[in-house]
Structure 1
Amino acid sequence: MSALVPLGPGIWYLPGAVNSVVVENGEGGALLIDTGLDDAHARKLLRAVESAGLSPSAILNTHSHADHHGGNAFILKKSPELTVYAPPLEAAVINHPMLEPLMLFGASPPPELRTKFLLAPASPAQPIPPGRQILGGVELDLIPVPGHAVDMYAVQLGEVLYVADALFGLEALAKHPLTFCSDSAAQKVSAAGLMELSSVGVILPGHGDPTVDLPGLVGANLTAYERITAAVLATVQQHSGSVDDLLSRVSVRMGVRTGSPAAAVLNRAVVSAHLTELQAQKQVQCVTEHHRLVFRISP
């Protein structure tokens, strides 16, 4: 059975494919931050919380990707009185999870895109604004870090900073060269902006191990994000084409293996985001050719 790992006084995390954070409220309860992909992760999380002598007091989802809120439903079956909080736009997706594969596919998604990796069970999330909040008896700071998701929060708990998916651990960056984002320009601004936070001791990414080296982690992520932009630009310089044309070439250039339809639409979104960033910089343009959207180098 997985055990909670301490991050600071009254603050733990459950390691996993996605990390879950557990914060004691001083009254025997604990705020759960991100509940993982599915029932299996949620079950481990509840057992670990119980073993620590705590019970859930509320749930906070930093964003609406299925691997961060897929465990909500299992936890709410056990404790239906719990309130689920999320950033406003992300709360809408958590309440209506079909929005995620619908957005990625652009139409009613086929069965291959309705798996747990893109379509989590619905849960009744309430929108919560950024800033200082008290959730489940825990005082914390919610910091907007859009880019990976449209409306994501990082969470600061004193000297502990849970950055969610604003920053990735080094292994995750290496494993996923096309690091997911909805807005690559905002992703870079959010990552760099985390350097302005003061009194940060321990940093925990949503995917990866905790670290005390915030500058190093930010630098590694910015380098990875810029590498994707450069690869997309170099590909367009060699071959104009549709997003799917460019995705195929970028994937080969970066050594990406696409093993499933879900991975394909996620990677397609990444290339699309970086194309939009390059278009805003007037380096590429979007035109229609032979009934297709085509991206090419700006004249």
Structure 2
Amino acid sequence: MSALEALGPGVWVWPGAVNSVVAEDGQGGALLIDTGLDESHARKLLRAVEAAGLTPSAILNTHSHADHHGGNTFVLRRFPALPVFAPPLEAAIINHPLLEPMMLFGASPPPPLRTKFLLAPASPAQGVGPGPQTLGGVALELLPVPGHASEMYAVRLGEVLYAADALFGAQALDKHPLTFCADSAAQKASAASLHELEGVVTVLPGHGAPTADLPALVGANLAAYERTTAAVLATVQEAAGSVDDLLVRVSLRLGVHTGTPAAVVLNRTVVSAHLTELLAQGQLTCGVEDHRLVFRAGP
């Protein structure tokens, strides 16, 4: 893909494994929202931005996952004075990206968990609060949608909503039945909150194609998240187990193929998040058995 695609007046997308949004400031500048996984993505993004006659004015990262800010350093090498914005907690991780694999692993991560998929290069992000903002000369609204990440923003640009990873396209949901989240209850609440938005003509998920049907996209995501919760609950009801025991059985139940160390720690986090939600609902208990934290069905 070599050209930007229009989403709405002055708002464009460079589609990829992660979508990058380009918002014009009306004076030849452009805010870049999420720069992709790596230099390859960022180089193509800049090429498309420059072909459109635009110059980057700032970067906004919706959250700190490596596939959304890994391209920052390449952009900043070309435009070193660009400010970088992110939700405050996520900005700390973008500045100190080792925190991401460290949180997933629970200690200093081994080399297989230090790849670009979990550990992006550091970039100097500054925290920005929610609500109406002007970033890089672009007026927008930052909507808090925590759950997939501890903090995350969806971005409202007039009639365009960039949902970031609060919503996923159908193909992404099918490919990843264990849709990543740090807090599954918050993930569901955030997705549901977007259903209430009025005046949205086009919605773009972080992964997937744009659509005009926001309610359908929200519904598909909520259904997928609930399926995961139901699968975790049914697995515990069959037999108690530790997180790692349950991860194996939930993965088999959902047909998940786990081929890399990164996938193991990501999927383990998803199962843990849904276990926490079920504990809060009183459907599970947990305790220590044989030096393991074991989850059981029942109050």
TM category (shorter chain) comes to over 0.9
| Secondary structure of residue in 2 paired with 1:177 | coil
The residue identity in structure 2 corresponding to 1:11 is V
In the alignment, what sits opposite 1:48?
A: 48
- RMSD across aligned positions (CA): 0.6
Q: How far did residue 198 of structure 1 move? A: 1.1
The residue identity in structure 1 corresponding to 2:40 is A
Runs (4+) of structure 1 exceeding 4 A deviation are none
| Secondary structure of residue in 1 paired with 2:148 | coil
The residue identity in structure 1 corresponding to 2:218 is V
For 2:195 and 2:178, the matched residues in 1 are separated by 23
Given the alignment of the two structures, is residue 277 of structure 1 paired with residue 277 of structure 2, yes or no? yes
TM alignment of 1:143-154, pairs within 5 A:
143-154=143-154
The residue identity in structure 2 corresponding to 1:117 is F
Given the alignment of the two structures, is residue 257 of structure 1 paired with residue 257 of structure 2, yes or no? yes
The residue identity in structure 1 corresponding to 2:113 is L
In the alignment, what sits opposite 1:213?
A: 213
| Secondary structure of residue in 2 paired with 1:117 | coil
**TM-score under structure 2 length normalisation:** 0.99
TM alignment of 1:180-219, pairs within 5 A:
180-219=180-219
In the alignment, what sits opposite 1:169?
A: 169
In the alignment, what sits opposite 1:121?
A: 121
| Secondary structure of residue in 2 paired with 1:132 | strand
In the alignment, what sits opposite 2:234?
A: 234
The residue identity in structure 2 corresponding to 1:195 is H
For 1:212 and 1:248, the matched residues in 2 are separated by 38
The residue identity in structure 1 corresponding to 2:167 is L
Q: How far did residue 9 of structure 1 move? A: 1.1
The residue identity in structure 1 corresponding to 2:60 is L
For 1:147 and 1:204, the matched residues in 2 are separated by 18
TM alignment of 1:278-297, pairs within 5 A:
278-297=278-297
Given the alignment of the two structures, is residue 6 of structure 1 paired with residue 35 of structure 2, yes or no? no
Which blocks of at least 5 consecutive residues in structure 2 are unaligned? none
In the alignment, what sits opposite 1:63?
A: 63
For 1:286 and 1:273, the matched residues in 2 are separated by 14
Q: How far did residue 239 of structure 1 move? A: 1.3
Q: How far did residue 133 of structure 1 move? A: 0.2
For 1:116 and 1:178, the matched residues in 2 are separated by 21
For 2:285 and 2:16, the matched residues in 1 are separated by 41
The residue identity in structure 2 corresponding to 1:260 is T
The residue identity in structure 2 corresponding to 1:110 is P
Q: How far did residue 2 of structure 1 move? A: 1.9
The residue identity in structure 2 corresponding to 1:3 is A
Q: How far did residue 196 of structure 1 move? A: 1.3
For 1:118 and 1:62, the matched residues in 2 are separated by 16
Given the alignment of the two structures, is residue 243 of structure 1 paired with residue 243 of structure 2, yes or no? yes
For 2:253 and 2:298, the matched residues in 1 are separated by 22
Which blocks of at least 5 consecutive residues in structure 1 are unaligned? none
Q: How far did residue 298 of structure 1 move? A: 2.4
For 2:259 and 2:291, the matched residues in 1 are separated by 29
TM alignment of 1:125-140, pairs within 5 A:
125-140=125-140
For 2:23 and 2:226, the matched residues in 1 are separated by 34
| Secondary structure of residue in 2 paired with 1:216 | helix
Number of residue equivalences: 299
The residue identity in structure 1 corresponding to 2:266 is L
